[in-house]
Structure 1
Amino acid sequence: MKLSRNAAGGTLSRSRKVLVIAAASTAALLALTGCAGSGSSGGSASKHISIAFVPKQLNNPYTDVELGGGKDAAKATGDTYSVVGPNTASASSQVSYINTLTQKHTNVIAIAANDPNAVCSALNQAKAGGAKIITFDSDTDKNCRSLFINQVNAKDVALIELKQMAEQINNEGEIAILSATANATNQNSWIQYMKQELASNPTYSKIKLVTTVYGNDDDTTSFQVAQGLLQSYPNLKGIISPTTVGIAATARYLSTSSYKGKVILTGLGLPNQMRQYVKDGTVKEFALWDPAKIGQATVYAAKALVAGTITGKSGDTFKAGSLGTLKVGADNTVIVGGPTAFDSSNIDKYNF
């Protein structure tokens, strides 16, 4: 019987040891799980997110470069990247895509708005469902989003385009603007600054802006509008086209017309699209920035918003890969960089 009690006691002792070890292991596991959970709920920067880009329209060469930058950044961060959007750039054409993304519980919707207000109701519903909203390239009303990723300071864009035009027409003569859509916030902002500068700068007192027309960011429409513009204004000395689609279409028309070398063209263009027109003398110079950086900045801003390391207020900063640290400025806007002038001396250095 003594032997039996000792055996029983030994068995009980071993059982207690197993229970103690199991309890300790469970406690450790719970502690680790608790740490991981608190990091996730607090917005861990390493948390993978889903980000969907909604451009003004699909199959736009400029937009393709922007989206390529976003895709590369999402690949580097391990996040889920997608693109949805309309084939034509109309005011309300993006709404149905926003609604679908809301239903899918996409973490971040990044949109280049065709109209500053037409998409706001859909975006506010997405926000109510938990999505973060970022605008890029073309803004909405600031109450509809958390952050705007802007390529450059709007006034700087206006001034470089106007300066390039003025120098080539010797600060005198009739000019016109061929823009994208009538409701595009980025183009309208640049045009407004150009008008202000024309009205206030004595250097430009002999330059007359005769009209602003729209090609709807469509190649064929822009080509036809440029043709009609020159027929309607026979004394036109120059055209400013602050849209990559518009400037390329206008250059194509000018290059084979009697206006080549007589009507000055400048604006915002992609080096790869404009190279042939610079080399054949149709265009002397134009401007732009690297659109891929906009897509890249948008992805890193999205991660920071979801992580909670920024809220979009002025003074917030976030790391954006090779772009370094970017800062949120006034009106919850991030400026990625400044404009670059392209001409025959440097255009072959760029490939986008």
Structure 2
Amino acid sequence: MRTFSKNGTLLGALGLTFALAVTGCGKAETGESDSGSGEGGDQPLNIVFLPKNLGNPYFDASDAGGKAAVEALGGTFSEVGPQTASPDAQVQYINTAAQQKASAIVISANDPKAVGSALTQARDGGTKIVTFDSDTEPQYRDLFINQASPEGIAKAQIDGIAEQIGDEGEIAILSASANATNQNAWIALMETELKNHPNIKLVDTVYGNDDDQTSFDKTAALLQTHPDLKGIISPTTVGIAAAARYLSTSKAKGEVALTGLGTPNQMRSFIEDGTVTEFYLWNPTDLGTLAAYAAAALAKGEIEGKEGDTFTAGELGEYTVGANGEVLLGEPTGFTKENIGDFDF
């Protein structure tokens, strides 16, 4: 197994598990808001999380981390969002949060530009904007909380599939939506990384739109279209689980390798039955926690989002804002049959 975390603690703090995510999301809850404050210290802290879509286990976990952090700060947490991830689906939720004078909106953008006008209006009204997981164009937000370096994510997945297929053969990518900035950045870097593997050929890239059934159907179509396919990379938690579900009951099980980004709880059975050998991820709960603390620091005026600004994210420790307003959580970790039992999210 290859481990890509920096210091072995990236996937720590697992007291905020997926079980908390299931019980913690789906509605706004209020803490002791008199101890939270907006910029200048005279406004209650009110942070809205806006994932790509609701009902996604990955965002359930990340939003649970955000909820716990906001409540620890004495603020009010809300989770809102569309049922389906699409470019324009998030705009109405941004507008509503801005009208309600939210201290900050924490958003994983379905499109780098489609939400730009709404976010600009929200910022003009005093709401701080933090993107996480999937960024907008930089002018539309104050900070971007990046889950891991794009280069590290791309290399982990290419190295993983190369090892599993003997470093030769045809592979395909099952992505989320065609407009997702994080997916497209990773795919571009994976294509570059493939130059180090001349005997591997990327034959197709398809999009499941972070929908389980669509991703399931796209997996079936890939195998029908490319009968010599040796492996699939799915850099999305919905996509990899749907692809694994298809492979687990098909003749391709054990013949077509699958890797990508997934959570241990959703992929556990597929690791145990041999459908998947290894996949990767960071801790999504920690990602939500970090995003919430960053949003609160902005809302309170403790930081401005400039390079060199520092803030503390609870038990995660101190973070520094990098170039282009980016804050990096860490690097991904590989999950296999040997270590997956150690994680619960």
- TM-score tier (shorter): 0.7 to 0.9
Which residue does the alignment assign to 1:18? Answer: none
TM-score by length of 1: 0.86
Letter in 1 for 2:250: S
- Check conservation: 1:92, 1:118, Cα contact below 8 A: yes
118, 136, 147: which is aligned to 2:114?
Answer: 118
Q: Report deviation, 1:43.
A: 3.3
Q: Is the aligned partner of 1:96 residue 2:92? A: yes
The CA deviation string for residues 200-242 of structure 1, in whole angstroms up to 9 with x for no partner, is x2xx011100010000000011000000110000000000000
Q: Cα distance 1:308–1:220, how it changes in 2: closer, same or farther (>3 A)? A: same
Q: Is the aligned partner of 1:349 residue 2:345? A: no
Which aligned runs of 4 or more in structure 1 are off by greater than 6 angstroms?
A: none
Q: Is the aligned partner of 1:54 residue 2:50? A: yes
Which residue does the alignment assign to 1:293? Answer: 286
In the alignment, the residues of structure 2 paired with residue 315 and residue 300 of structure 1 have an alpha-carbon distance, to the nearest angstrom, of 16
56, 68, 74: which is aligned to 1:72?
Answer: 68
Q: Is the aligned partner of 1:182 residue 2:182? A: no
- By relative contact order (CA 8 Å, sep 6+), the higher-ranking structure is 2
Q: Is the aligned partner of 1:140 residue 2:136? A: yes
SS of residue matched to 2:101: coil
Tell me which structure has the larger Cα radius of gyration: 1
SS of residue matched to 2:161: helix
In the alignment, the residues of structure 1 paired with residue 115 and residue 57 of structure 2 have an alpha-carbon distance, to the nearest angstrom, of 23
Q: Report deviation, 1:42.
A: 6.6
In the alignment, the residues of structure 2 paired with residue 307 and residue 275 of structure 1 have an alpha-carbon distance, to the nearest angstrom, of 40
Which residue does the alignment assign to 1:37? Answer: none
Q: Is the aligned partner of 1:43 residue 2:40? A: yes
Relative to its length, the structure with more helix (as a share) is 1
Instruction: Extract unaligned runs of 5+ from structure 2.
Output: 1-36
SS of residue matched to 1:105: coil
The CA deviation string for residues 29-73 of structure 1, in whole angstroms up to 9 with x for no partner, is xxxxxxxxxxx79734x9641000111000001110000000111
SS of residue matched to 1:182: coil
Which residue does the alignment assign to 1:330? Answer: 323
Which residue does the alignment assign to 2:18? Answer: none
Q: Report deviation, 1:107.
A: 1.1
The CA deviation string for residues 321-344 of structure 1, in whole angstroms up to 9 with x for no partner, is 010001111111001121010001
Q: Is the aligned partner of 1:309 residue 2:302? A: yes
- Check conservation: 2:39, 2:299, Cα contact below 8 A: no
What does 1:191-230 correspond to in 2, within 5 Å?
191-199=187-195, 201=196, 204-230=197-223
The CA deviation string for residues 221-271 of structure 1, in whole angstroms up to 9 with x for no partner, is 100000011000000000000000000000010000000000000000110
In the alignment, the residues of structure 2 paired with residue 297 and residue 343 of structure 1 have an alpha-carbon distance, to the nearest angstrom, of 26
- Check conservation: 1:227, 1:253, Cα contact below 8 A: yes
Letter in 1 for 2:112: P
SS of residue matched to 1:227: helix
- Check conservation: 1:43, 1:309, Cα contact below 8 A: no
TM-score by length of 2: 0.88
Which residue does the alignment assign to 1:107? Answer: 103
- Check conservation: 1:152, 1:336, Cα contact below 8 A: yes
Q: Is the aligned partner of 1:243 residue 2:236? A: yes
The CA deviation string for residues 112-160 of structure 1, in whole angstroms up to 9 with x for no partner, is 0000000000000001111111101100000000000111111100000
Number of residue pairs aligned between Structure 1 and Structure 2? 309
In the alignment, the residues of structure 1 paired with residue 40 and residue 215 of structure 2 have an alpha-carbon distance, to the nearest angstrom, of 45
Q: Report deviation, 1:276.
A: 0.6
Q: Cα distance 1:41–1:227, how it changes in 2: closer, same or farther (>3 A)? A: closer
Letter in 1 for 2:168: E
Q: Cα distance 1:350–1:47, how it changes in 2: closer, same or farther (>3 A)? A: farther
Q: Report deviation, 1:348.
A: 0.3
Instruction: Extract unaligned runs of 5+ from structure 1.
Output: 1-39
In the alignment, the residues of structure 2 paired with residue 330 and residue 170 of structure 1 have an alpha-carbon distance, to the nearest angstrom, of 38
What does 1:141-180 correspond to in 2, within 5 Å?
141-180=137-176
Q: Report deviation, 1:166.
A: 0.3
SS of residue matched to 1:229: helix
In the alignment, the residues of structure 1 paired with residue 44 and residue 344 of structure 2 have an alpha-carbon distance, to the nearest angstrom, of 31
